[in-house]
Structure 1
């Protein structure tokens, strides 16, 4: 029986890993569809680049720093996925699957966090910055907070509840992307002289929707896969709360958009789904179904409002990554301090019951401390890394390259060759006339 359980758990975690890895395709479609045609190939292609970088760096250093035996701040053993002793990766000993499968699953999470960060770089960052920052993010940023929460670090020791990564994955990536957004500055033409924003619509709303659906499906691997077990069927419960939250987020965002703008914005609905999924990621194993719906609805609605707010403040976040992944990551992480159910806390054996279940303020304070600790660390380190890059190699392409598009300026070919033919036709027509 134990052997069968081992086999089932291993197969399930591999499937979950593939689902999370396939979320890279969702990000590629979502971001490419939400940005302009002249950058579509670049935006989609950087997902492969991002995944390749994070894979090699996480294998060499990131996994050891996150889960290796060390201290309460970071792991100090297990480099290159090598076990020096039976306790090297003791923080993952609760999962009864081979180390190789544990690595693949956790790698997929690190890659998603980096993919989120790239949203803040979109349409104006140098390709070289992706190589440098991607490497440093996967060594010095993501693994450190990951160790604090999941690797037996100081946040784990005080009982922080972040089941699948609202803070570890999403908030980290969102903050890094937000710092990049601030240091890069807005895209050319985004704001008028009086700082009022201009709409820069994405070139393919169908891609945006399809990317959102792929991410929704991939999230079942993200959250339910974090059980790393099939034994008691609890992964099905996590999938249920995840799905309910996403549905609530879609409707809440669409209704909010209609109320605020008079239009049932499709992109807002997609972002509402993602915001809800981000929020329920921390809480999916700790809250009852009704609470999952509340969390998803709040995140979906609030994200639409914050995306408008930041834009009006002169911040050009092309795909609203900070609102979707950052603000919702905070909402989701803190929500367990209110909604964590005693029976589910007993199952997961993490933290304590929330305020609304008579648990007092203890868990709420723990969640707030976790969010603040992670946010301060990621902000400081991201600013240092990106600030140095800005002063040395530079973060942003030239105005001429940005106007012509990163497809042609960075890669030498358009994602849509017909677009280049159309431009040449217009240029020749002007010359003839």
Structure 2
């Protein structure tokens, strides 16, 4: 509040001064028209000759009004200088607009136009507009083939675009003009190194792809030789839409757990595990166990095809039972295992002593999304009876 009071006091003193002392340069009734005519914005007619030193305001306004009367070369040069100031301030967007305005003057000085293109290329470069920068560098080089700055900028753009062959070509072209240019020499060395590295990486990637394709073909051939049916994604979607069975949430759990692909077949579980063939020619499958009573699942990332189900269940439900089994009833000797016929919706009970391979080779068994899945129930339990009551159940022979 004190500051406000001081300001008020100062204004009062200023106004008091006007009451006691007349303003020396004030207009009066006799000279106000003459004085207004001296102000550039209110002049009725401008003087024929203007001295910039005596009337700089009028000279500036006249320069703006009559700018188009200057030769295009002068206008373009002024815009180039203005753009350079923006560039120094790192205001690259305004620099681009100003250089563009200079180019639109269509002056006949090809060297000046080449500089405008090169400078605009630099502004685009620092904004990350590599294609626009390259186009401007190319235009500058076309106007002035020996313009080293344009060649350097073009080579830098090709480097940023990871086209090292063209970067080398531009560097070589510049070095033929100026063999001692350090910047071009450094650029060329870097481009050559990056080109060699890119070619090496490309060879490695192709070799890796070839190896993976060979392994994938061998894997699919082995699966086919075993007589194991892989359910394609489109088959799965069609059959699921035709099915009326809900399986108490088991299907949704399976779909949420596994989403992978192998030659158009879904084969890799979301954890990264997928079926593979070891050096002994044995298949290892990712296997999903579903416990619909508790809406729980177990995932085995590598189930050897020649291992039995009881081998795994004995480990999974050995001395320590899962925490969700509050009634402590999931003991291996109490369990029943089923797989679903995805075409008909029937369940097939699996002998726990059987191997995974023998079950997968059954005519009604198919692997969905690359992951065999099995339903686990407690034998003769109320939930088991209710769950199986509305399903057709077969026992494997």
Q: TM-score range, shorter-chain basis?
A: under 0.3
Q: Max radius of gyration: which structure?
A: 2
- TM-score with structure 2 setting the length: 0.22
